[in-house]
Chain A
Amino acid sequence: MSLQRFILKRTLSIIPIMFGVSVITFGLFHLTPGDPVTQLVALNPDVTAAEEAALRERWGLSGPVWQQYLDWITNVLVGDFGQELRTGREVSDIVWARLPETVALGLFGWAFALIIAIPAGIYAAVNKDQFGDTVSRFLALSGISIPNFWLGLMLILIFSLYLGLFPVLAPSRQSLLSPEMLWYLILPGITIGTASAASIMRVMRTSMTEELNKEYVTAARAKGLPERTVILKHVLRNSLISVVTLAATLTASIVAGSVVVEVVFNWPGLGREFIDAINQREINVVMAITLFTGFFVILANLVADIVYAALDPRIRYD
């Protein structure tokens, strides 16, 4: 099978998964007692019985479950997630408005993870079983074990409050592209990226170690190539491939992490919107973000697989 055919096949394979994701999202919210209209009526005195029925009709809550699902998914496919119950604002507007903040945070977290983890991984592999390796392995294990919300709180406590180096507050009116934004991004970015950095470092170390034992490395060394060249030119390239395999999983973990980290830092992104929506029982918002998350992770997986397939000459596509 050619690479093109693999990509096509792989891309088609996400369709049933996307379907499954939408079914789970819908099912979770609609098989529980108390639909959104019941709630709205409970909280709003001016809704008459006739209006209530009309609302049900409008939000597709009147027919059988499969009919409701079809109505819902048809609307979702054209980007209509319905309205926020309390304010009547379009959910898709809310999601789009909050998305850039979360993307900025996620990208910063990724950048931080790569910048820290790759050199650390190389260092640990090259100095395997020496003191530096032990320390960095211990740090990596700590990075995986530390709860990100506590890490965030500790960073605020130490760097913002005791040392006064960073702002405590989330940005309110700064543009995402302004340079001051970097200042606001550093602590939440580190918080969200730490676990990923630790995971990447561990994978880097393992795969580097493995590559370093391979014949071609021994051969290259025997040829008298400087160690630096061997490592940076040959070993690193092959090891980085294994980081790509981790990318999708880490993207999912950064997405989940953004929920917690945005709450810790009052970051005005999708994650905090998600928690607010859960607390206010804004079902349409929660569903939209859930579905969005699912699709995003699927796409991240797809991209990672394709990149991996393209990069790794050893893979067979059949």
Chain B
Amino acid sequence: MPSRHNASDSNQNINRRNVIATIGAAGAASLAGCGGQSNGGDGGDGGDGGDGELFPLDVQIEVNADNSDRLQMVELIAESMEQSGYFNTTVETYEWNTYVGRVLDPEYQNNGVIPCIGLSGTFNPGSFCNALHHSDNIGACCNLNGINDSELDDLIDDARYGVDVASDSQLRGERYDEVWNYLAEERYSSITHFDLATAVSNTDVHGFEMWPFAEGTYSYNMFAPQDEQVMWLDRDNAAGDSDLSDLTEGGTMRIAISANVESFDPPHSSDTTSTLAQGFLFEALITSDSEGNVYPWLAESYEALDTQDIDRTAYADYMSTVGTTEEGAVDTDEQVIIQHPEDSPAEDDEVRVLLPDDATEAAEDGTYGMQYRYNLQEGVEFHNGDELTAEDVVATYEYVENSVLAPQTFDSLLTVVQIDEYTVDLYAQVPDAEAERSLPGRSILSSSQIQEVEKGNIDPREGNTPIGTGPYEFSEFEDEQYYEVTKFDNYWTEQKGVSEAFSWFDGSGDFPDGPVIDDFEVEIVPDDSTRSGALQNGEVDSTYGLNTATLDDFKSSEDFLVYGVETGGYEYIQYPVNVAPFDDARLRKAINHLIPRERIVENVLNGYARPAWTDLPALAQGSGTADADALEEEIRPTNEYDVERAGELLDQVAADN
């Protein structure tokens, strides 16, 4: 499940990996709908006019129009800058797809405007610095304004890759602290707040707890022994003080989700609601608790066998040479595992790449960064009656090749090798502190189904019933309306018993051996207020992502319970650092001081968020800092709303001009 977390709502946040690969080549600026936006396009250039007066500086902030909270936030920032007297701000809005195409264009950085966008981070601290600032992500997601600081790149890389950080989590935290401090000094971007994920259930739903990623909320709640978490339905007694001893089994839970299921095929979809649906049906080798600690799941146990100090050039001997296309893409139908770091598809006619077979060969010859060994649980049954074996794991990872999830899988994974019927090895390309979480994250599919279907077609719309090992079986799906899943009779943890299945389980004897709810009926209701109404009318038992303005009403009602937890979702604005006068860090810091983070959280998000006093959310503090409190104490003053300090900085900038 980890590393699935950058799945996201299409209207909210960008799924980073999904868009990386081709956006640079496509340019993407020619999307229909761009035409009307040119009126303010050069607004940011007005500031560097030659009349000697830098201020008031014309600044344009851009945002997608279809997220009203984000838009309100941008208006608030713009108004705050305007009131300082140093800026004339304009807000320009775009339709979402147009906006994505616009900001991911590598030329965007020359516009001199400030974009605002949202991202979904994970337990990996890198998702809060790498995506925004690493030069690899220029023209991709989401280094929008071309930040190219090799010192920063090295700091970020050194915090994740290398034998030292892979083995020493304290050192890793210290490395990340350096990153956060460096960013506070340069302030290329301003993260405004970290989102709170919220779900609302009626009081028939007992034992509910929020999971930091919306797409995993229901699968986490139905059965998560790692946190001793299980929900059940009891329509006679109200939830609130109930505990495991009150647990009742059975019932049909009705939930409302916010978007259609694009696909039931795990590696061929990454949006929130598809991932949510797959959570009922599929499982991975590992699972994770709400703090990001990894537990073996379909694997009975795993261990890191070996780590070698190599970088990606070490694979040169195993690489094949392939041509490139005019657009600057690698011309091959096979999955590119690694592209030689010294070659560039945009400039060279040929590049060296490591293809899947080469990768396996390299691993078997002993060229790899890390080697992890997974011992599978025996007696795990798929919904079609097959038993889970190492073959299924190997077939699953082959099936991931060239899928939507391929980029995020193969930026770390080298290859998967079967050892015996119940043992597989997963290799990482280089020593990687995230490997334990990211390598085994894929949902395991049935090899017999993979053989039968065309890639991407594990979906009822294609006539294929999705088959996994999960506690629920697919039962019915009406496109854009609803789907239903029913409990799988031979679910393996129930066959084995929870304490038998998981040697790490040390919870209460009352904890059930599997999910206790019989069926889930999942209604697809895109409109937030309609979902809210459906919940109030008793048409569904639970939903999520409601308008924050209405949550307090639910909270004060006796019939509903509101659950919230800080997530990895965050929003940020990024300064056009390559365009004067934004190349001056003092100007960027000054604007940062004009961002009223507390007002944003209070007035725009109705308190359902946390101001980003540092760039690191609670979620990723486990591996992202050596000392979270000390970090906040140090960095928070640079992110406070402070008009006076902003004025001082801006006066300095003006004086130097």
Chains A and B form a bound pair: yes
Residues of A within 8 A of B (CB): 32-34, 38-39, 41-49, 86-87, 89, 167-170, 172-173, 266, 279-281, 283
Among the listed A32, A43, A87, A172, which residue makes an inter-chain contact with B481, where contact means beta carbons less than 8 Å apart?
A172
Q: Other CB < 8 Å A-B pairs besides A48-B325, A280-B97, A283-B32, 10 of them? A: A34-B30, A39-B32, A42-B22, A42-B26, A45-B18, A45-B19, A49-B329, A169-B533, A169-B534, A266-B527
Contact indicator A173/B481 (Cβ below 8 Å): yes
Contact indicator A38/B97 (Cβ below 8 Å): no
Interface: B349 (CB within 8 A): no
- Given the contacts A45-B18, A169-B539, A87 and B262 also touching, CB distance less than 8 Å: yes
Contact indicator B325/A86 (Cβ below 8 Å): no
- Given the contacts A168-B533, A172-B482, A42 and B31 also touching, CB distance less than 8 Å: yes
Residues of B within 8 A of A (CB): 18-23, 26, 28, 30-35, 66, 95-97, 100-101, 262, 325-327, 329, 331, 333, 402-404, 406-407, 461, 479, 481-482, 523, 525, 527, 530, 533-534, 537, 539
- Given the contacts A45-B20, A48-B331, A280-B97, A32 and B523 also touching, CB distance less than 8 Å: no
Closest chain A CB from B571 CB (angstroms):
21
Residues of A within 8 Å of B523, CB to CB, are 172
Bound Cα distance A41, B101 (Å): 11
Contact indicator A34/B32 (Cβ below 8 Å): yes
Interface of B is mostly: loop
Closest to A86 in B: B262
Contact indicator A33/B32 (Cβ below 8 Å): yes
Closest to B28 in A: A42
Bound Cα distance A172, B402 (Å): 37
Contact indicator B101/A42 (Cβ below 8 Å): yes
Residues of B within 8 Å of A48, CB to CB, are 325, 329, 331, 333
Contact indicator B30/A41 (Cβ below 8 Å): no
Closest chain A CB from B615 CB (angstroms):
27
Among the listed B20, B97, B327, B406, which residue makes an inter-chain contact with A43, where contact means beta carbons less than 8 Å apart?
B97
Query: Can you sample 10 A-B contacts with CB below 8 Å?
Result: A32-B35, A39-B31, A41-B26, A42-B22, A43-B19, A45-B404, A48-B333, A89-B479, A168-B530, A168-B537
**Max chain B CB contacts within 10 Å: which of A34, A45, A280, A281?**
A45
Closest to A40 in B: B26
Bound Cα distance A173, B66 (Å): 28
Among the listed A43, A45, A47, A266, which residue makes an inter-chain contact with B530, where contact means beta carbons less than 8 Å apart?
A266
Residues of B within 8 Å of A38, CB to CB, are 26, 30-31
Bound Cα distance A58, B33 (Å): 24
**Max chain B CB contacts within 10 Å: which of A32, A43, A44, A173?**
A43
Residues of B within 8 Å of A44, CB to CB, are 22
Closest to A265 in B: B530
- Given the contacts A39-B32, A266-B530, A45 and B21 also touching, CB distance less than 8 Å: yes
Contact indicator A34/B31 (Cβ below 8 Å): yes
- Given the contacts A89-B479, A168-B533, A172-B482, A45 and B407 also touching, CB distance less than 8 Å: yes
Bound Cα distance A33, B98 (Å): 13
Bound Cα distance A87, B479 (Å): 11
Contact indicator A32/B327 (Cβ below 8 Å): no
Closest chain B CB from A29 CB (angstroms):
8
Contact indicator B22/A281 (Cβ below 8 Å): no
**Max chain A CB contacts within 10 Å: which of B31, B32, B329?**
B32
Which are the 6 A-B pairs with shortest beta-carbon distances? Answer: A45-B21, A42-B28, A34-B30, A49-B325, A34-B32, A168-B533
Residues of B within 8 Å of A33, CB to CB, are 30, 32, 35
Closest chain B CB from A205 CB (angstroms):
40
- Given the contacts A42-B26, A45-B20, A87-B262, A170 and B530 also touching, CB distance less than 8 Å: yes
Closest chain B CB from A268 CB (angstroms):
8
Residues of A within 8 Å of B534, CB to CB, are 169, 172
Residues of A within 8 Å of B326, CB to CB, are 49
**Max chain A CB contacts within 10 Å: which of B22, B28, B34, B530?**
B22
Closest to A88 in B: B461
Closest chain B CB from A51 CB (angstroms):
10
Contact indicator A45/B22 (Cβ below 8 Å): yes
Residues of B within 8 Å of A172, CB to CB, are 481-482, 523, 525, 534, 539
Contact indicator B32/A46 (Cβ below 8 Å): no
- Given the contacts A169-B537, A173-B481, A281 and B31 also touching, CB distance less than 8 Å: yes
Contact indicator A46/B262 (Cβ below 8 Å): no
Contact indicator B30/A49 (Cβ below 8 Å): no
Bound Cα distance A46, B402 (Å): 7
Closest chain B CB from A228 CB (angstroms):
47
Residues of A within 8 Å of B325, CB to CB, are 48-49
Closest chain A CB from B34 CB (angstroms):
8
Residues of B within 8 Å of A280, CB to CB, are 97
Closest to A49 in B: B325
Closest to A33 in B: B30
Closest chain A CB from B599 CB (angstroms):
29
Contact indicator A49/B327 (Cβ below 8 Å): yes
Bound Cα distance A170, B101 (Å): 34
Bound Cα distance A170, B479 (Å): 17
Closest to B30 in A: A34
Residues of A within 8 Å of B96, CB to CB, are 279
Contact indicator B101/A46 (Cβ below 8 Å): no
Residues of A within 8 Å of B31, CB to CB, are 34, 38-39, 42, 281
Residues of B within 8 Å of A32, CB to CB, are 32, 35
Residues of A within 8 Å of B34, CB to CB, are 34
- Given the contacts A33-B32, A39-B31, A45-B21, A279 and B95 also touching, CB distance less than 8 Å: yes
Residues of A within 8 Å of B19, CB to CB, are 43, 45
Closest to B20 in A: A45
Closest to A273 in B: B480
Closest chain A CB from B549 CB (angstroms):
15
Bound Cα distance A71, B333 (Å): 30
Bound Cα distance A49, B402 (Å): 15
Closest chain B CB from A5 CB (angstroms):
46
Closest chain B CB from A159 CB (angstroms):
15
Bound Cα distance A279, B537 (Å): 29
Among the listed B22, B100, B262, B482, which residue makes an inter-chain contact with A41, where contact means beta carbons less than 8 Å apart?
B22
Closest chain A CB from B273 CB (angstroms):
13
Bound Cα distance A172, B30 (Å): 37
Contact indicator B23/A42 (Cβ below 8 Å): yes
Bound Cα distance A48, B35 (Å): 27
Contact indicator B21/A281 (Cβ below 8 Å): no
Residues of B within 8 Å of A34, CB to CB, are 30-32, 34
Contact indicator A169/B21 (Cβ below 8 Å): no
